């Protein structure tokens, strides 16, 4: 999936018009690794795929970007990406 930002996003001096998140390549092992890392930080959700923070961590893993890349996005972009990942995981 390629997410095109509503307006260019600058992170650490580099401008991004879009970000590629390869959801189709996401494996069960990767999902479990993201979940373990997320849980070690004290997070919990009965259905992780419905939690926006968990979904953003999945996006960060797949995009090979630090979590800060996503946390610093405008809220609307953050939510759109979280919803896209959630929708994929729940489909």
- Can you state the angle between helices 28-40 and 52-63, rounded to 10 degrees? 120
Q: What is the pTM of this model?
A: 0.93
Provide the residue-wise pLDDT of the chain in tens; the chain has 91 residues.
999 999 999 999 999 999 999 999 999 999 999 999 999 999 999 999 999 999 999 999 999 999 999 999 999 999 999 999 999 999 9
86 CB contacts (<8 Å, ≥6 apart)?
49, 50, 52, 55
Q: Please report the pLDDT score of residue 62 as a whole number.
A: 97
Q: Please report the pLDDT score of residue 53 as a whole number.
A: 97
Q: From CA 64, how far away is CA 62, in angstroms rounded?
A: 5
Q: Please report the pLDDT score of residue 30 as a whole number.
A: 97
Cβ neighbourhood burial of 90 (10 Å; 0-12, 13-18, 19+): exposed
- Can you state the angle between helices 52-63 and 75-90, rounded to 10 degrees? 90
């Amino acid at each position: 999936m390629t997410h095109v930002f509503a307006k260019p996003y600058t992170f650490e001096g580099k401008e991004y018009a879009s970000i590629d998140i390869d959801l189709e390549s996401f494996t069960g092992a990767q999902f479990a690794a993201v979940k373990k890392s997320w849980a070690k930080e004290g997070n919990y959700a009965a259905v992780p795929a419905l939690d926006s923070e968990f979904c953003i961590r999945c996006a960060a893993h797949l995009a090979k970007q630090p979590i800060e890349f996503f946390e610093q996005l405008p809220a609307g972009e953050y939510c759109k990406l979280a919803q896209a990942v959630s929708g994929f995981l729940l489909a």
